C-alpha cells in the first residue's frame, strides 16, 4: 500500500464557507485541504480528500486489466465548490443523508427545525452539510481516517456530533467505509457516501445499459417532493423490481407515477436482510468492460439515484461533460424522512450510544 499526500488546488477559504467563486485570500487555511492516494497490490487507486470527506477518484481494472476512473468528480477543490446544482460527487452526506419532510422532526417531545434546501424539504444535511466542510485527517493502516465535529445547532440539528469515516482499500479491491459517531444530546444521524459510478469510465455515456441487481422486495414510494409517503410497496410488477439483474434502461420510460416523481430512479429500496451484519445490497455490472461493483452493507436500505439531474453542464476531471444519467449513486442508509416515521428503524443516536456502521464498495470483473 502506498500513500501519496498532496495539497489540492488552493481556493479561498471564504468560498468554502459560502460556495462563492472568488479566489485567494486567507491562504493559511488552504493547506488544510489534502488529497490522499491509496494504492493496492493490484494497482487499484482510490483518492480521498478531506473536503467533504469525499472520494475523488477510483481507478479500477476492466476484464482485460485496462484501468479507468469509474467515479465522477473533479481534480481540484474549486471544481467541487463551484459545481452547479450541488451534485455531492463522492462526498459523505449528512448529518441526515437524504430528505426530511419540511425539515422538521421531534425527539422526546422537543421539536427541531432544520435548514430547508430542497424546496420545502431538508436534503443531505442542509446548506452547510458534511459535503461542504473540511474534515480533520490522519493516515491509518491502508487508508485515511477523517473526523468532523458537527456543532450543536448546526443546520438546526441538536447535539455536538463527533463523527469519523475511515476509508481503507484492501487487496481484494474493496473500499471499506467505516462510520462512527457519538453525541452529547439525542440527535438523528444517517450518513452515507454519495459517489457516482460509471463502470465504463467517468465521462462515458449513459449508465442505462449497466445491469443492476438490488436485493430488495419492497421500496418506499414518494410524493412530488420525494418525501416517503409511509407506504412500503412490493416491487413485484413495477419498474422497481431489480431482484434479478436488469438493465437500468429497461423499464425507465414506463408510465409509472413514481418514475415521474423521481424523474427516473431516485428511490429507496428496503433491503431483504437475513440479520444485521454485512450483506450484499446491490450488484452493478457494466457488460462491455466487464466491471462489477458490489455494495455490501450493514444498513437497512439503499437509495438508487440514476443521475437524473445531470444534464451535460458539469464538465469533469478529464474534460468530458457529465450528460443526463451518465452516473449513478448507490447510497446505503436508512429511508428518507425516517425521523418522522416512528414505526421505521430508528435513526436516533443518544448520549452514551455509539453509531457504528460499515459499507463496502467491492470491485471485480467478469
Ligand atoms: C440524492 C437525491 C437526489 C439528488 C441527488 C443530488 O441522491 O436523492 O434527488 O438530490 O442526491 O443531485
pLDDT digits (tens, 9 = 90+) for 173-216: 999 999 999 999 999 999 999 999 999 999 999 999 999 999 99
Those residues with Cβ within 8 angstroms of residue 159's Cβ, 6 or more apart along the chain or in another chain? 152, 183, 184, 185, 186, 187, 349, 351
Residue ID of nearest Cα to ligand 1 atom 12 = 87
**Ligand 1 atom with minimal separation from the 329 CA:** 7
**Ligand 1 atom with minimal separation from the 309 CA:** 12
Question: Helices then strands (H, E): number in the chain?
Answer: 4, 27
Tens of pLDDT, residues 76-135:
999 999 999 999 999 999 999 999 999 999 999 999 999 999 999 999 999 999 999 999
**Ligand 1 atom with minimal separation from the 194 CA:** 7
- Please tell me the distance between residue 305's alpha carbon and the centre of ligand 1 in angstroms: 7
Q: Is the pTM of this model over 0.85?
A: yes
pLDDT at 28 over 60: no
Provide, rounded to the nearest whole percent, the portion of the chain with pLDDT above 70.
92
Catalytic annotation on 331? yes
User: Which residue among 123, 227, 314 has the greatest number of ligand 1 atoms within 8 angstroms of its CB, and so is best to mutate?
Assistant: 123
- The grid coordinates of residue 143 equal 487508508
Could you tell me if the CB of 91 is within 6 A of ligand 1?
A: no
Could you tell me if the CB of 309 is within 6 A of ligand 1?
A: yes
- The grid coordinates of residue 90 equal 463522492
**Ligand 1 atom with minimal separation from the 93 CA:** 11
**Which one of 122, 194, 267, 334 is the catalytic residue?**
194
Those residues with Cβ within 8 angstroms of residue 244's Cβ, 6 or more apart along the chain or in another chain? 213
Closest to 57 in 3D by CA, of 9, 30, 89, 10: 89
User: What pairs with residue 107 in β-bridges?
Assistant: 110
Residues 276-283, mean pLDDT to the nearest whole number:
98
Could you tell me if the CB of 87 is within 6 A of ligand 1?
A: yes
**Beta-sheet strands, E only, within 129-271:** 136-140, 143-150, 161-169, 174-183, 187-188, 192-193, 211-214, 216-220, 233-234, 246-247, 266-271
Alpha-carbon distance values, 115 to 83, 203, 331 (Å): 20, 33, 22
Number of Cβ within a 10 Å radius of residue 172: 13
pLDDT at 31: 56
pLDDT at 26 over 80: no
Residue ID of nearest Cα to ligand 1 atom 9 = 266
Catalytic annotation on 194? yes
Closest to 132 in 3D by CA, of 242, 303, 295, 15: 15
12 pLDDT band, cuts 50/70/90, is: very low
pLDDT at 224: 96
Could you tell me if the CB of 363 is within 6 A of ligand 1?
A: no
Determine the Cα–Cα distance for residues 191 and 97; give it in Å rounded to an integer.
Answer: 5
User: Which residue among 305, 314, 322, 330 has the greatest number of ligand 1 atoms within 8 angstroms of its CB, and so is best to mutate?
Assistant: 305
Alpha-carbon distance values, 309 to 20, 70, 352 (Å): 21, 19, 40
364 pLDDT band, cuts 50/70/90, is: very high
- The grid coordinates of residue 33 equal 485541504
Those residues with Cβ within 8 angstroms of residue 306's Cβ, 6 or more apart along the chain or in another chain? 207, 248, 252, 264, 265, 266, 325, 328
- Mean pLDDT estimate for the chain: 92
- Please tell me the distance between residue 267's alpha carbon and the centre of ligand 1 in angstroms: 10
pLDDT at 8 over 90: no
Could you tell me if the CB of 125 is within 6 A of ligand 1?
A: no
pLDDT at 239 over 80: yes
Closest to 33 in 3D by CA, of 83, 82, 95, 78: 78
pLDDT at 64: 98
Could you tell me if the CB of 96 is within 6 A of ligand 1?
A: no
Residue ID of nearest Cα to ligand 1 atom 6 = 87
Residues 14-24, mean pLDDT to the nearest whole number:
34
Those residues with Cβ within 8 angstroms of residue 253's Cβ, 6 or more apart along the chain or in another chain? none
User: Is residue 278 within 8 Å of 297, Cβ to Cβ?
Assistant: yes
Tens of pLDDT, residues 140-178:
999 999 999 999 999 999 999 999 999 999 999 999 999
User: Is residue 123 within 8 Å of 85, Cβ to Cβ?
Assistant: no
- Please tell me the distance between residue 3's alpha carbon and the centre of ligand 1 in angstroms: 32
Longest dimension (CA), the chain: 58
Tens of pLDDT, residues 59-78:
999 999 999 999 999 999 99
Determine the Cα–Cα distance for residues 282 and 219; give it in Å rounded to an integer.
Answer: 14
User: Which residue among 80, 91, 261, 266 has the greatest number of ligand 1 atoms within 8 angstroms of its CB, and so is best to mutate?
Assistant: 266
Alpha-carbon distance values, 199 to 59, 105, 177, 209, 286 (Å): 10, 38, 20, 10, 6
pLDDT at 5: 53
Amino acid at each position: 500500500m502506498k500513500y501519496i499526500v498532496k495539497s489540492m488546488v488552493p481556493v479561498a477559504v471564504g468560498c468554502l464557507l459560502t460556495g462563492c467563486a472568488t479566489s485567494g485570500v486567507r491562504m493559511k487555511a488552504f493547506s488544510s485541504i489534502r488529497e490522499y492516494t491509496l494504492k493496492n497490490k493490484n494497482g487499484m487507486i482510490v483518492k480521498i480528500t478531506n473536503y467533504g470527506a469525499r472520494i475523488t477518484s477510483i481507478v479500477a481494472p476492466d476484464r482485460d486489466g485496462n484501468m479507468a476512473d469509474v467515479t465522477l468528480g473533479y481534480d481540484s477543490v474549486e471544481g467541487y465548490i463551484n459545481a452547479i446544482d450541488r451534485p455531492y460527487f463522492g462526498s459523505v452526506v449528512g448529518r441526515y443523508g437524504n430528505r426530511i419532510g419540511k425539515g422538521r422532526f421531534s425527539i422526546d417531545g422537543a421539536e427541531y427545525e432544520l435548514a430547508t434546501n430542497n424546496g420545502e424539504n431538508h436534503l443531505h444535511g442542509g446548506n452547510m452539510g458534511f459535503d461542504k466542510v473540511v474534515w480533520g485527517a490522519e493516515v491509518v493502516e491502508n487508508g485515511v481516517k477523517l473526523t468532523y465535529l458537527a456543532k450543536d445547532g448546526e443546520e438546526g440539528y441538536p447535539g455536538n456530533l463527533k463523527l469519523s469515516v475511515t476509508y481503507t482499500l484492501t487487496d481484494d479491491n474493496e473500499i471499506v467505509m467505516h462510520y462512527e459517531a457519538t453525541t452529547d444530546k439525542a440527535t438523528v444521524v444517517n450518513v452515507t457516501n454519495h459517489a457516482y459510478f460509471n463502470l465504463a469510465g467517468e465521462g462515458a455515456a449513459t449508465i442505462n445499459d449497466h445491469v443492476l441487481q438490488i436485493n430488495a422486495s419492497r421500496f418506499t414510494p414518494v410524493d412530488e417532493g420525494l418525501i416517503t409517503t409511509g407506504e412500503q410497496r412490493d416491487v413485484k410488477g413495477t419498474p422497481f423490481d431489480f431482484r434479478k439483474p436488469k438493465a437500468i434502461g429497461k423499464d425507465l420510460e414506463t408510465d409509472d407515477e413514481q418514475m415521474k416523481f423521481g424523474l427516473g430512479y431516485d428511490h429507496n429500496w428496503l433491503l431483504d436482510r437475513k440479520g444485521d451484519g454485512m450483506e450484499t445490497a446491490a450488484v452493478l455490472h457494466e457488460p462491455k468492460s466487464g466491471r462489477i461493483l458490489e455494495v455490501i452493507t450493514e444498513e437497512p436500505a439503499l437509495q438508487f439515484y440514476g443521475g437524473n439531474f445531470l444534464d451535460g453542464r458539469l464538465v469533469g476531471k478529464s474534460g468530458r461533460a457529465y450528460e443526463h444519467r451518465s452516473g449513478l449513486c448507490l447510497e446505503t442508509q436508512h429511508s428518507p424522512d425516517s425521523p418522522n416515521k416512528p414505526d421505521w428503524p430508528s435513526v436516533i443516536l443518544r448520549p452514551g450510544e455509539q453509531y457504528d456502521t460499515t459499507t463496502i464498495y467491492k470491485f471485480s470483473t467478469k
